A and B are shown apart, each in its own frame.
Chain A
Amino acid sequence: AQSVTQLGSHVSVSEGALVLLRCNYSSSVPPYLFWYVQYPNQGLQLLLKYTSAATLVKGINGFEAEFKKSETSFHLTKPSAHMSDAAEYFCAVSDGGGSNYKLTFGKGTLLTVNP
């Protein structure tokens, strides 16, 4: 069974600062990994995904994430935060096998961007 741990339920950064949101996973099979963003009263929007191709994945809005198998991590980064990045971010994992439609989500990290 898969599980996801997001370190830090709340992260606060200044506008222009580096954004780093941490995600560690456990999976008994090669995983697919995802980051989603949820703006207030909105659905989840896919930021990026890793599906066993390049380990450094680039997504929308300047975000990227690196799959590190040895550390079982998939941390999300952005070099320079913008006010519009304030939202809740969810890391998710699915197994790469027969039930890869089933996502297991972390509890989320609320990102606050200060002017």
Chain B
Amino acid sequence: NAGVMQNPRHLVRRRGQEARLRCSPMKGHSHVYWYRQLPEEGLKFMVYLQKENIIDESGMPKERFSAEFPKEGPSILRIQQVVRGDSAAYFCASSPEDSYTEAFFGQGTRLTVV
């Protein structure tokens, strides 16, 4: 049973470009969570999704950031018009239907904006 898969592992974007981060949850998991880790900080919750639904996006910046978890395929975190302050590690976690506390994290995508 493969773990949570995130790709790419490293992503470099110039200011103003778009970044797309992908997350494939563990088999059988229908809940996906995105967290951001800024340098010298702990992880900060961004968004919680179920298939085709955004359940809680209270941690998402109001502009330029969006997330989706379609019926088929991975969850996508999209950052438009990236700025230097978006440079961070973005982690995805997934959990099964009936247990939020059994969340498993992926290896993260390290985004660098130059």
- Cα A102 to Cα B35 in complex, Å, equals 10
Q: Count of chain A residues with Cβ under 8 Å from any Cβ of B? A: 25
- Interface size range on B against A: 20 to 34
Most buried by A among B4, B35, B43: B43
- Cα A67 to Cα B101 in complex, Å, equals 17
Are A101 and B48 interface neighbours, CB within 8 A?
A: yes
Are A105 and B105 interface neighbours, CB within 8 A?
A: no
List CB contacts (< 8 Å) of A65-96 with chain B: 90, 92, 94
Are A44 and B44 interface neighbours, CB within 8 A?
A: no
Say if the beta carbon of B72 comes within 8 Å of chain A. Answer: no
Known contacts A101-B48, A103-B43, A105-B43; decide if A43 and B91 are in contact (CB<8 Å).
yes
Are A41 and B104 interface neighbours, CB within 8 A?
A: no
- CB of B44 to closest CB in A, whole Å: 7
Query: What chain A residues lie within 8 Å of B42 (beta carbons)?
Result: 4, 90, 92, 104-108
How many interface contacts (CB-CB < 8 Å) are there between A and B?
Answer: 58
Are B108 and A43 interface neighbours, CB within 8 A?
A: yes
Say if the beta carbon of B25 comes within 8 Å of chain A. Answer: no
Say if the beta carbon of A26 comes within 8 Å of chain B. Answer: no
Are B105 and A36 interface neighbours, CB within 8 A?
A: yes
- CB of A56 to closest CB in B, whole Å: 18
Say if the beta carbon of A61 comes within 8 Å of chain B. Answer: no
B interface footprint on A23-47 (CB within 8 Å = 1, 0 otherwise): 0000000001010100001111110
Binding site for B on A (CB under 8 A): 4, 32, 34, 36, 41-46, 49, 51, 90, 92, 94, 99-108
